[in-house]
Structure 1
Amino acid sequence: MAFTICRIQKIKSWGALARSEAHTVRKVNTPNANPQIKNLEVIGNCDNLDLEMIVRNKIGSQKYRSDAVLAVEMLLSASAEYFRPYAAYEGGNYDKQRLDDFVEAVVKWLDNSWGDGIVKASLHLDEITPHIHAYLVPLDERRKLNCKALFGTRVKMYQLQDSFANALGHLGIMRGVKGSVATHTKVKKYYAAVNQDSQLLDLERYIPQPQAQEGSVAYRQRVIELLDPQLEVINQQLRERDRVLQKLTELKQTASVSEQLRYSLEKELYSLRANHSRQNLSLSEVAYELG
């Protein structure tokens, strides 16, 4: 059974937007991404402007708070069972028709929900499971920058998940359990896939030295941003290991029951064959079999 995956990441600074774009367009090294596979733009402009310029143009000259959400990155996908129903664990593979149907449904949902507020969306095929990164400039009905009006409450987030699931329901993709956070993954860490080579966290390598005149808060934030992807890789692998172990336990239990059933059926078959054999024996042979 396949489930929807819909995550959002609020972007509040131009630097954060640039880092997000650097990942989605592969300007920086991306763990587990195949550099031989080209990702596809499914919504975008024809002027080849960078994402910051596109967002600035969409916001226009209006004034906004210093902590306003400038853009919202969406990660939209489905569990692997949808894209490769007969080989869910073979990362990188997918059924072409299922992928096309998924992309068509997602693009239609984005357009119906936010129209030209979606300034860019790209289909990623170079990682384990196909997914779409979309960027929304959160303008309200007055065309004012207002992310709170769109995603500011728990109810609105539930509505987002419901809406996305409804858009994919005809494909057999279901919404996850409401309120569940067990499988949620932050957008910027999605690429830390579970079948990446096991990692050891080398703190001396990853923790940077403080920069000149860098405050403690800024330094702490920079360290978190550097370590988060590595920690998420490890955490994802641990969660996947637990899931596989649980699945293995269930399979062993199923195998045990199946083996007992096989043994019982073999005994019954042997008994039936023996009875059939006796029916074809002569009277003297029956007497011999009975002792």
Structure 2
Amino acid sequence: MEDSKKLYSIIRIKKLNKRALLSADKHNKRKMNVPNADGTKKIKSIYFRKEDASETLLETAYCRMDELNVSAKRKDAIFAIELLLTATPEYFIVDKGKPFSLDNADKVALQKWYQKSIEWLKVKFKKTLLQAQLHLDESSPHIHAFFLPVIEKVVSIKHSNHSHENSVESSSVFENKLCAKDIVTKSWLYTLHDEYAGEMKSLGLKRGKLHSQAKHSELKEYAITSKKIDSQKRRLLSLENDEKPLKENKEKLTLQGKKLEKTTSLLQQEISELKEQVEVSKSKEKQLNNVIQKMKCDLVIIKEQIISLNHQKEHALKEGEVIKQKLHDKKQEVDGLEAKYDKHFVFFKQVSMLAKTYTEEVVNAENLLANFSLPLTLQKRLLVPLDKMKKLYENYLVGSNGEQTKKLSNYKDIPGKSKVIANSPVLKRIKRF
């Protein structure tokens, strides 16, 4: 056990009316939510009579008041006074560096404190003691005890005297009454602390400082602060446990620091190079932006040109339709001309054959006339129609238009068929000679 100077016995009181007594009963028996309590740990209720176990704390108080003939049960009366008995938390702990738990509890010290506290309560409050609960589910063990604030008061009773008419006499009697203000005084509180500390002195616990200005924290505040203290203790323990590996890691960290210095210098060089590359990329980006702007302008121009070309295309398609129609008309005209040409070609072949035949006839006639001894004038007169025919055939062979063909076909001296050649009048004249 640590130095006893740091270990104190602790006792606190609280006045409870009817409503507060019901709430305290629910709180102490854990019939309501208690944030700072561990639900896995149990509590121990102490009943000083067997029949009290089946009753609520308020019902026990009413039964005890009936037994003690307590009168004047006002609605706003203080029905009970709650005592909280405990000690410095380190008194109940084996490993002082860890918070209280059943595994870390000094069970011998806890049992001695519990037994002495209950014995003192029985001796001190006797028949007015109602119930008590031992709580092991919070940051330190403690006992909640309740007693009736009952005192004997002198009450005067007035009654009439039968021996003398209209005379009234009074007498004094003692009655038990609830009167917490007459019990809970400063001197009573000092005495209560002294008596409990004297009972706990054999366990190594001492009384707290007399006339101390310290104030008791509320349950919520105490729970918050105790949790903070426990967390700080755990943190200190973890720091102490981690001190050795920290020392071992210190050398590793120094080596890593040197490596980091080298890597940082290399990184700085890389960063400077990257900055230069960024500047170059920025200049390239500007150039690209200029090119993109120019391309956008060109794109606008190209779009306008495409629109104009589309208009031209539409116009050209319309013109193409017109030209197509004209070509169709020309084709029909050419087809008509080809038909005419075919007719003229057939006729031309026939005329060519006739021309050849008449040419041969003229040559024969010239040869025949040469063999005859005819006068020259007669020869010329006979050959005139042949010469005309020859010239006409030659002109026809040289020209190929339709007008010459038409003239030739209408000439009376030219027969239309080859069968008439043999009956030519010119040859008949020549043959007569």
The TM-score range, normalised by the shorter chain, is 0.5 to 0.7
54, 57, 66: which one aligns with 1:51: 57
User: For the Cα contact (< 8 Å) 2:71–2:176, is it kept in 1?
Assistant: no
Matched, 1:184 2:188: no
Unaligned runs of 5+ in 1: 190-228, 249-291
- Report which structure shows greater RCO (CA 8 Å, sep ≥6): 1
Contact kept, 8 Å, 1:11 with 1:70, in 2: the verdict is: yes
Q: Which 10-residue stretch deviates more, 58-67 or 158-167?
A: 58-67
Distance 1:94 1:236, change over 3 A: closer
Q: Which has the larger radius of gyration?
A: 2
The one-letter amino acid of 2:34's match is T
In structure 2, the residue matched to 1:108 is 119
CA distance in 2, matches of 1:35, 1:44: 26
Task: Tell me the residue number matched to 1:278.
Answer: none
Aligned CA distance change for structure 1 residues 40 and 162 (closer, same or farther; 3 Å): same
**Alignment partner of 1:172 is 2:183:** no
- Counterpart Cα distance in 2 of 1:117 and 1:104: 19
Kindly indicate whether the alpha-carbon contact (under 8 Å) linking 1:80 and 1:88 is maintained by their aligned counterparts in 2.
no
In 2, Cα distance between the equivalents of 1:78 and 1:178?
A: 16
Counterparts in 2 of 1:232 and 1:3: CA distance versus 1, 3 Å: closer
Deviates more, 1:153-162 or 1:175-184: 175-184
How far apart are 1:42 and its partner, in Å? Answer: 2.8
Distance 1:235 1:90 in 2: 13
In 2: Cα distance, 1:134 partner to 1:88 partner: 30
Query: Aligned letter for 2:64?
Result: K
Aligned residue in 1 for 2:317: none
CA distance in 2, matches of 1:74, 1:182: 18
Tell me by how many angstroms 1:88 deviates. Answer: 5.7
With normalisation by structure 2, the TM-score equals 0.43
Q: Say if 2:50 is the partner of 1:34.
A: no
Equivalent residue in structure 1 for 2:71, among 54, 62, 65: 62
1:62 Cα deviation after fit: 1.3
Please give the TM-score of this superposition, normalised by the length of structure 1: 0.62
> How far, CA to CA, are the matches of 1:27 and 1:131 in structure 2?
18
Residue deviations 1:166-200 (CA, integer Å, cap 9, x gap) = 111110011110121425245xx2xxxxxxxxxxx
Map 1:63-142 → 2, pairs under 5 A: 63-84=72-93, 86-87=95-96, 89-92=98-101, 93-141=104-152
> Shift in Å at residue 85 of structure 1?
5.1
Q: Distance in 1 between matches of 2:188 and 2:204?
A: 24
Alignment partners' CA distance in 1, 2:22 and 2:191 = 29
**Could you say what secondary structure the match of 2:146 adopts?**
strand
User: Hey, what's the Cα distance between the residues in 1 that align with 2:203 and 2:214?
Assistant: 24
* Structure 2 Cα separation of the partners of residues 6 and 40 of structure 1: 19
CA distance in 2, matches of 1:77, 1:173: 10
Letter matched to residue 7 of structure 2: A
- Given that residues 7 and 185 in structure 1 are in contact (C-alpha distance below 8 angstroms), is that contact kept between their aligned partners in structure 2? no
User: 1:18-55 CA deviation, whole Å, 9 max, x = no partner?
Assistant: 11111100001112212222111233432311111001
Alignment partner for residue 176 of structure 2, among 119, 122, 143? 143
By how many angstroms is 1:234 displaced?
Answer: 4.1
Report deviation, 1:4. Answer: 1.1
CA distance in 2, matches of 1:88, 1:178: 29
1:46-88 CA distances to partner (integer Å, 9 max, x unpaired)? 2311111001112226113443211011110001121115426
Cα drift, residue 147 of structure 1: 1.5
- 2:191 counterpart SS class: helix
1:2 aligns with 2:7: yes
Q: Which moved more, 1:28-37 or 1:114-123?
A: 28-37
CA distance in 1, matches of 2:139, 2:10: 14
Deviations 1:116-156 (A, max 9, x none): 211101111111111100011111245321222321x2121
How far apart, CA to CA, are the structure 2 residues paired with 1:233 and 1:35? 15
44 and 129 in structure 1: CA distance in 2 versus 1, 3 angstrom threshold: same
Higher share in helix: 2
Provide the secondary structure at the position in 2 that maps to 1:19.
helix
8 Å Cα contact 1:4-1:78 kept in structure 2: yes
Cα distance in 2, alignment partners of residues 184 and 54 from structure 1: 29
For 2:8 and 2:97, the matched residues in 1 are separated by 13
Find the counterpart in structure 2 of residue 162 from structure 1: 194
Q: Is the 8 A contact 2:151 2:179 kept in 1?
A: yes
Mean CA deviation greater in 77-86 or 130-139: 77-86
